[in-house]
Amino acid sequence: MEVFTIVVAPSDFLWQPPIFDDGGTLLDRASRRRKSAAHKKSAAPVEALPMTAPSQANSVAFGSDDTSPLTDALLLELQRRGYRVQKFGAILDGTTNWPRIAQRVAKTVVEGDATFGVLCCWTGTGVSIAANKVFGARAALCGDAATAQGARRWNDANVLALSLRSTSIAVALEILDAFIAAQPSTDPGDIAAIEAIEANATVREDVDFVPVQ
């Protein structure tokens, strides 16, 4: 019986990026494309609506279509940090029109009357969608602190959306802390991405939310 021996080098098991004729790899080409895109965006800048870093003297727009121990805890934490809280919806007067609540919070932020916004509804999805219909608003639905940090850093999020159903008080406070502490990225590629969002947005000043009965 013949016995064959096959010798395999450890490196054979590792994926290696293909090498093109110019000596570059896929990763090299991706890096060049990103730098090229950033250069093109910076050549024709779009007026962005960046959010300034929160300070203890700033105001926060806080809206929810329901009240709960979570909204109570968020309100107390914001006040403890020294923010002047502008309340909207159920936490103010019991109203539950979440599209309108989200719109008012987003507009308050975009118009410069609040440093950032916080929105809550049962899933957090509805208010985040509604807020993002307001030009200049960048609402992020966050379920953990790492997501909130990334939303501020890479997406320059200016409205934090939370789920009343799935977010515990302890996690919500971690999320809020991460959102406040994070700073928007100064990387040209990240800035260009935000400018592209604003440039591609469709603005309709003549449309307002229809009241929900």
Q: Which residues have CB under 8 Å from 114's CB, separation 6+?
A: 58, 59, 60, 61, 86, 105, 108
Own/partner contacts of 193-197, CB < 8 Å, gap of 24 or more, are 193/154, 194/48, 194/50, 194/138, 194/155, 194/156, 195/41, 195/45, 195/46, 195/48, 196/41, 196/46, 197/138
Token pair recorded at residue 127? 């208010």
Q: Would you call 121 a catalytic residue per the annotation?
A: yes
Sign of the dihedral through C-alpha 208, 163, 77, 178: negative
Of 150, 169, 153, 172, nearest to 161 by C-alpha is 172
Distance CA 78, CA 85 (A): 7
Active-site choice (75, 106, 121, 148): 121
CB of 88 closer than 8 Å to CB of 115: no
Q: Which residues are catalytic?
A: 121
